[in-house]
Chain A
Amino acid sequence: MGQLLVNGLVTGLLLALPALALSLTFSVLRFANYAIGSYLTCGAYLVYVGNVLFGWPLLLAASVGAVLFAVIAVAIDWLAFRPLRNRSGVTLLVASMGVAIALENVVRFFAGNSPRAYDVAVARPIRFGDIRLNHEQLTILMTVIAALAVVWIVFRFTRLGRMMRAVADNPDLAAVRGISRGRVVACVWLISGTLAALSGVLVGLDANVEPQMGWTYLLPVFTAAILGGIANPMAAVAGALTLGIAEELATLVLPVHYRMIVTFLLMVALLLLRPLGLFGKRWVTK
C-alpha cells in the first residue's frame, strides 16, 4: 500500500510537467495542444542524441536538449499555430493533430521504431523500511520539484509572470496596457517546450525512449490538466498527483494494462460532474 502510494506519487510527478505545459499554453492561447505528447517524444530523442550519440552526461544532455526543444516549440508555433491564431480553438486543435503526426514521423524517420534507453548507470534501489525507491524515481522526484519551483517563482513573482497572467485573463486589456502578446506567447512556448522535453527525458528514464512514448501519455496528461481545471496552470500539478495516485491504487482492482481506462472514466466523470476541474473557477469570457 505504501509502495503503491509512492509509485503513484512518482507517476503523478511524471504527469505534472506536461500537464503544466499543456494548461500554460491553454490558458494563454485558448487551445488544447494535442501535440504535447509528440513534444515529449521529440524532447526525449533530442536528449538521447546528446546522451548516447555524443556521450554527454545525462544532466548536460537534458539541459541542452530542453533548451533546444524550447526553441523548436517556438518555431512550431511560428510556422503552424501563429497563422491560425484568430481562428476557433477547434481549427487549432486539428492543426495540432497535424503537428503531432508530423513530429512523430520525423522521429521515426531518423530513429526507427525500436525502443532505446539512456546511458545511465544501474544502481540498487534505496530502501526505507518496506518501501523501495529507484534512483530513476528519485531523479524524477527532484527534477520535477525543482522545475515546478522555478515555474512557480517565474509565474508568481516576475514581470514575465504578471504579463502571462494578464494575457491569460484578457488579451485585449493586456494589449491596451502595452503588453506585447507575441512576446508573451513566445515565452509561454519556451517554458512549455522546456517542460515537455524535460518530462520526455524523465519518461524515457522511467521506461524506454520510443516513438510511441508521448502518445501513451497524451490522455493522462489531458486528464490531469482537466482535473486541475485546464486554465489554471498550478492546479494542473495537483490534478497530476491526484491522477497518478488514483491510477496506481486502481491496479489493486484492475489489470495494469487497463489503467488508461481508469484515466478515461475519471475524465468523463469529472467533465460531467465538475467541468471546471477540481480546483477551477468559472472564468469570464468576453
Chain B
Amino acid sequence: MTVYLIATLTVVAIAALAGLALNLQWGMGGLVNFGLFGLYMLGAYIAGLLTVQGVPPLLALAAAMIGVAALSAVSALISVRLSEDYLAIVTLGFAECLRLVISYEGWLTKGMLGVAGIERPFQDIWPRGFGDIGFLALALLAVAVVYTVLQGLARSPFGRLVRATRDDPGVVEALGKSVLSVRVRVFAVGGAILGLAGSLHAFYYTYIDPTQFGPIITAYAFMAVVVGGRGSNRGVLVAAFSLIFLLEGSRFLIDLVPGIGASELAAIRLFLVGVGLVVLLIFKPDGFGREPRSALAEKTR
C-alpha cells in the first residue's frame, strides 16, 4: 500500500506540474495550448535520450527545461496574430508534427521502439529501497519550486500584465506594452515547466515511446485547470491531486466488476475523463478555486 501511495503521489506531482503550466498559459494568459502534450513529450525525450547517453539526470533535466522553453517561445511567435480557437488548432498541429518526427526519425529517437533503460535519479541511494521516496521528494520539490515561482509571478507586476493581456490585449498595446513579448515569455515559462514535467515522466517510467503521449495528457491538464479554477494555482494543485486519485483509484474497479478486461476498463476511465470535462464546464465553470486578487474584477463585471 505504501508503495502504491508513493507511486500515485509521484504521478500526482507530474500531473500537477502540467496543470500549473497550463494554468499559467491558459488560466492567466488566456492562451489556449492544445499542444501541451507535444512539449511534455519533447521534455521527456530530451531528458531520456541525454540520460541514456550518460549525461547526469539533473543536467539532462535542465537541458530539457531549456530546450522545451526555447521551442515553446518560438511557437508563441505566431500566437499574436491568431484568435483563441485558431491557436488551439495550431498548437495541436505543432504537437502532432513533433510526435510524427519523434516516431519516424529512428536514428535519433529510436522511433516506435521507444527509449529504454533511462536512469532514475536516487535509485541507488542508501538505505536500499528508499529510491522511490527519494524520487518522490524530488518531484514534490519540483512542484513546490514551480508553485512558489508561479505564485510570485501571479502577484508581481508581470502577472498583472499577463492577466491584462488575457482580458484586453488592445489596452495593453495602447499602454505601450508589447503583447507579443508577454505571450512569448508566458509560453517560455510554461514550456520550461512542461519540460520539467516531461523529464520527470521519463525518469519515473524509465521507458518512453511515442504512444505514451497523446492529446489525453492535454485533456488531463485542462481538467485540472477547469476543476481548480482558471488562474488559481492552489486550485490546480488540489485538482491534480483529487483527479489522479480518482483515476488511479478507479483501477481497482477491475476487482469489483466481473467480466471486464483491462482495455475495457481503460476505455471506461478515459470516457469518464471526457464526460467529466464537459460536465464540469457546464455545472462548475469557474472551478473550485479562485484567482488571487480578482475581487475588483468581479465587482466591475
Contact = CB atoms under 8 A, between A and B. Distances in A.
Given A93-B85, A219-B93, A264-B94, A102 B32 contact: no
Contacts of B216: 101
A271 B78 contact: yes
B96 A219 contact: yes
Interface string A67-90: 000000000000110011001111
Interface residues on B, range: 35 or more
B277 A94 contact: yes
B32 to A, nearest CB: 6
B226 A272 contact: no
Nearest to B214: A215
B119 to A, nearest CB: 31
Interface string B80-97: 011011101110111011
A133 B90 CA distance: 34
A113 B263 contact: yes
A254 to B, nearest CB: 11
A16 B226 CA distance: 34
**Secondary structure call for the A interface:** helix
Interface residues of A, number: 47
A229 B276 CA distance: 33
Contacts of A94: 32, 222, 226, 277, 281
A222 B100 contact: no
Interface in B253-301: 263-264, 266-268, 270-271, 273-278, 281-282, 285
Contacts of A88: 84
A280 interface: no
Interface in A141-166: none
Contacts of B88: 32, 34, 90, 93
Contacts of A91: 281, 285
Contacts of B267: 105-106, 108-109
B93 A263 contact: yes
Given A113-B263, A264-B97, A272-B81, A258 B104 contact: yes
27 contacts: A34-B88, A79-B278, A80-B278, A84-B282, A88-B84, A89-B84, A90-B85, A93-B32, A93-B84, A93-B88, A94-B281, A97-B34, A98-B219, A98-B276, A101-B215, A101-B271, A104-B274, A105-B268, A108-B266, A222-B89, A257-B103, A260-B93, A260-B100, A264-B93, A264-B97, A271-B86, A272-B78
Interface of A: 31-32, 34, 79-80, 83-84, 87-91, 93-95, 97-106, 108-109, 112-113, 215, 218-219, 222-223, 226, 255, 257-258, 260-261, 263-264, 267-268, 271-272, 275
